[in-house]
């Protein structure tokens, strides 16, 4: 789960990370009021969407007067911001963040990610901030500093100092950078985050170190014990289908293809998508209905897949271990009534004979398959031959 910049800064400030003063606004009047409350003579008005590259897309405006703040807010609110991460559809700006604009001399990069391969938190830093980490890795790979955190002892202050000195900071700046680095680590650890990124981490003209921007992502599976984080979820920033899936306990990721997938188990889902690609087709989604694929749950999965207008065929691939094929088949038959796209069903596992019998005798034009390869081939063929009603 992602959160907005202002939310990430609020969390990080609670762990001692220095951030500029700012306030969220939902209207131009609120933006002006926020600027007056913050004081000063320069403000940054920032669009709050879950995407990088906002500045290049016009989502960050530096203002010197209240009139400029009002004009920037009016231009952004309700507008669709298109960045390299949003895709051509873009995202609608529903809220802004107004903060004091701090003049700075240097931009640094600081990131914390969960490296699943080594099962460690990896700290990444670079003296070339203000750029995406992919650009830094491509253009100046020698500037990237990395440290792996030993989970038994956590990030140590001497490691934070190594990073700070490696960034070319002076003694005064190093102590502040260490505070920021250690604070980010504690936030990552204590809040079940999967990513914390400060880009840029700046050195101001008066020698302060500030987190000028902040991004945080969290483990969805840990939200049950992080209520304060779960409450920060902005459903408007998510794919509506993924938000609906989350409400029903389904794991769904929308893709660009035309073959809808309803599968139990993440591994089987990925194998099915690979097989569809191998057969010459394109999956429209990743959807894992989980181990408890009850008839009601299967029906919800069908509704979710059919909400994608690009779907020309649906492939149901169930390997029943925890659940039963006859149970799943009941849900498939119930959901298939009135279906306007071809349906391909492959069942295997517990009570498979009973499940196949239910599908065969339902009287509906359901295409069956005995193997995954056969199911993928039939799904690709059905999608190509389908003529929308």
Element (H, E) at 348: strand 343-349
Which SS3 state, helix, strand or coil, does residue 274 take?
helix
Residue entry with tokens 């073959």: 259
Q: Is 53 annotated as a binding residue?
A: yes
Separation CA 60–CA 44 (nearest Å):
7
Q: Which residues are catalytic?
A: 109, 197
DSSP codes, 87-151: -TT-EE---EEEEEPPPEEEEEEEEEEEETTTTEEEEEEES-TTS-HHHHHHH-GGGEEEEEEPT
Q: Which token pair is 257?
A: 């293809």
Q: Is 213 annotated as a binding residue?
A: yes
Q: Spell out the residues 6+ positions from residue 314 whose beta carbon is closer than 8 angstroms to its own.
A: 259, 260, 261, 262, 302, 305, 306, 339, 341, 342, 343, 344, 379
Tell me the pairing of strands 91-92 and 343-349: unpaired
- Please check whether residue 133 is in contact with residue 213, taking contact to mean a CB–CB distance below 8 angstroms: no
Separation CA 270–CA 278 (nearest Å):
12
Separation CA 195–CA 216 (nearest Å):
5
Q: Is 170 annotated as a binding residue?
A: no
Q: Is 46 annotated as a binding residue?
A: yes
Q: Which of 187, 148, 185, 147 is nearest to 167 (CA)?
A: 147
Q: Which of 373, 370, 363 is nearest to 339 (CA)?
A: 363
Q: Spell out the residues 6+ positions from residue 89 whose beta carbon is closer than 8 angstroms to its own.
A: 80, 82
Q: Is 99 annotated as a binding residue?
A: yes
Q: Is 54 annotated as a binding residue?
A: yes
Q: Is 55 annotated as a binding residue?
A: yes
Q: Is 150 annotated as a binding residue?
A: no
Q: Which token pair is 16?
A: 């001692």
**Binding site: residue ranges?**
46, 53-55, 99, 102, 107, 199, 213, 264
Which residues are part of a known binding site for Mg(2+)? 199, 213
Annotated binding residues for substrate: 264
């Amino acid at each position: 789960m992602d959160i907005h910049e202002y939310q990430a800064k609020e969390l990080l400030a609670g762990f001692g990370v220095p951030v500029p003063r700012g306030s969220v606004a939902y209207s131009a009047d609120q933006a002006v009021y926020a600027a007056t409350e913050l004081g000063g003579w320069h403000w940054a008005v920032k669009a709050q969407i879950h995407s990088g590259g906002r500045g290049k897309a016009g989502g960050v405006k530096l203002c010197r007067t209240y009139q400029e703040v009002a004009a920037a807010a009016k231009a952004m609110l309700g507008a669709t911001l298109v960045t390299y991460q949003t895709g051509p559809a873009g995202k609608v700006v529903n809220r802004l963040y107004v903060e004091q604009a701090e003049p700075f001399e240097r931009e640094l990069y600081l990131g914390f990610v969960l490296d699943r391969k080594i099962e460690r938190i990896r700290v990444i830093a670079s003296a070339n901030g203000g750029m995406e980490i992919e650009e830094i890795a491509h253009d100046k790979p020698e500037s990237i500093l990395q440290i792996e955190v030993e989970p038994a002892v956590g990030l140590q202050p001497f490691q934070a100092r190594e990073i700070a000195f490696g960034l070319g900071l002076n003694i005064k700046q190093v102590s502040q950078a260490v505070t920021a680095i250690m604070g980010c680590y504690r936030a990552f650890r204590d809040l079940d985050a999967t990513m914390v990124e400060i880009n840029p981490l700046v050195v101001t003209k008066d020698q302060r170190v500030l987190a000028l921007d902040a991004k945080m992502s969290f483990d969805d599976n840990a939200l049950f014990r992080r209520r304060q984080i779960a409450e920060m979820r902005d459903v408007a920033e998510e794919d509506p289908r993924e938000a609906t899936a989350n409400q029903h306990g389904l794991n769904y990721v929308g893709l660009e293809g035309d073959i809808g997938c309803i599968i139990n188990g993440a591994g089987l889902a990925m194998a099915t998508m690979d097989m569809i690609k191998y057969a010459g087709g394109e999956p429209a989604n990743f959807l894992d209905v989980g181990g408890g694929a009850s008839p009601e749950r299967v029906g919800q999965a069908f509704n979710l897949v059919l909400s994608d207008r690009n779907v020309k065929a649906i492939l149901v691939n169930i390997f029943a271990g925890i659940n039963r094929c006859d149970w799943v088949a009941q849900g498939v038959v119930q959901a298939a009534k009135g279906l306007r796209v071809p349906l391909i069903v492959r069942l295997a596992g517990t009570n498979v004979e009973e499940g196949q019998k239910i599908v065969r005798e339902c009287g509906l034009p359901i295409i069956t398959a005995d193997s995954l390869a056969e199911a993928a081939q039939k799904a690709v063929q059905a999608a190509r031959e389908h003529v929308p009603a």
